[in-house]
Amino acid sequence: MSKLVTIFGGSGFVGRYIARRMAKEGWRVRVAVRRPNEAMFVKPYGAVGQVEPVLCNIRDDASVALAMQSADAVVNCVGVLNELGKNGFDTVQAEGAERIARLAAEQGIKRMVHISAIGADANSASAYSRTKAHGEAGVLKHMPDAVILRPSVIFGTEDQFFNRFAGMTRMGPFLPLVGAETKFQPVYVNDVAQAAVKGVLGQAEPGVYELGGPEVKTFRALMQQMLEVIHRRRVIIGLPFFAARIMAGVLDIVKFVSFQLFPNNILTRDQLKNLRHDNVVAEGAKSFTDLGIVPTTLESVLPEYLWKFRPSGQYDDIQNSAKNLRI
């Protein structure tokens, strides 16, 4: 009988790529999510019955234990960029991660891959980064042989980074940025998935790996590259941190007084703290090189999914080409 992996958050941005790759490896894949009816798109990743979404609430022991029952390996992709309702940073990224590892150890599961993030630091001013570090510690407490992956900002078809800012270019001639000179090392989602699969298959040594793409660029430079891909001219404005702090504070207050009916997906005070620090692979850290993976470049992927933000969408290249015709 083929082996079974449970992927918590397996219908999310990163999780779906891991699920697809594990299905291709011949494993049965259990995708543990809060809303299985919204994750049915994962079923065609494999043969009939090979990939199945199941109900799971990582805040509940019984739910998590049932989702990983009889599994040979577990992968945790669950994380939040913005606290909402009961899904706070501590609840999801610290307590939830440790719960998965603890119950996996109790069930005798030998392999675990945990998706964290570059910048995870127990002493960080950011609650997001602190809870990422606490989650890693909780995982290693119960699963000391776990593989922990810390990616930089992840790009790909469904990302909330380039898609978000490309969408903003439709709103006017200016593109405001907070932390315009902060450095990032964007990593392709399928490369992160490949690293996770190596962890599940036992092809990666236990430990922490920091994952970044082949290029380190400032936030401003990344947006300039994006503008070139979508064939738009916009004035990039770097907002000073003191102004951004006021804006984020107001937005967080509106979120609070509206009882989170306004979720503030624009800019939070916690996100602002992270934007003050570079998001790149640390010197001496284990990385893609140690996994035998050659990371994918931005220029080879961005045009594949950002074309829809061009002035004429898929016809933009055709129109530009037609301008060169001589009659």
Interatomic CA distance for residues 214 and 186, integer angstroms: 8
Euclidean distance between CA atoms 72 and 92, whole angstroms:
23
In a domain, 314, yes or no: no
Mean pLDDT computed over every residue of the chain: 95
Within 10 A of 278 (CB to CB), how many other CB atoms are there?
17
Residue 74 lies in a domain: yes
Q: Band the pLDDT of 34: cuts 50, 70, 90.
A: very high
**Structure confidence at residue 289 as a pLDDT band (50, 70, 90):** very high
Going 314 to 152 to 55 to 89, the CA torsion angle's sign is negative
The answer to whether position 72 is within a domain reads yes
Residue 6 has pLDDT above 80, yes or no: yes
Q: 313 pLDDT band (50/70/90 cuts)?
A: confident
What is the count of structural domains for the chain? 1
Q: Which domain holds residue 48?
A: 4-155+185-214+279-295
Question: Does some domain include residue 33?
Answer: yes
Specify if 318 maps to a domain. no
CATH number of the domain encompassing residue 148: 3.40.50.720
Tell me what the mean pLDDT of segment 22-30 comes to: 98
Find out whether 185 and 216 touch, Cβ atoms under 8 Å.
yes
Under 8 Å between Cβ of 78 and 135: no
Q: Do the Cβ atoms of 172 and 236 come closer than 8 Å?
A: no
pLDDT over 90 percentage in the chain: 94
Residue 248 lies in a domain: no
pTM recorded for the entire structure: 0.95
Spatial contact of 295 and 213, defined as CB atoms under 8 Å apart: yes
- Residue 314's pLDDT is what? 72
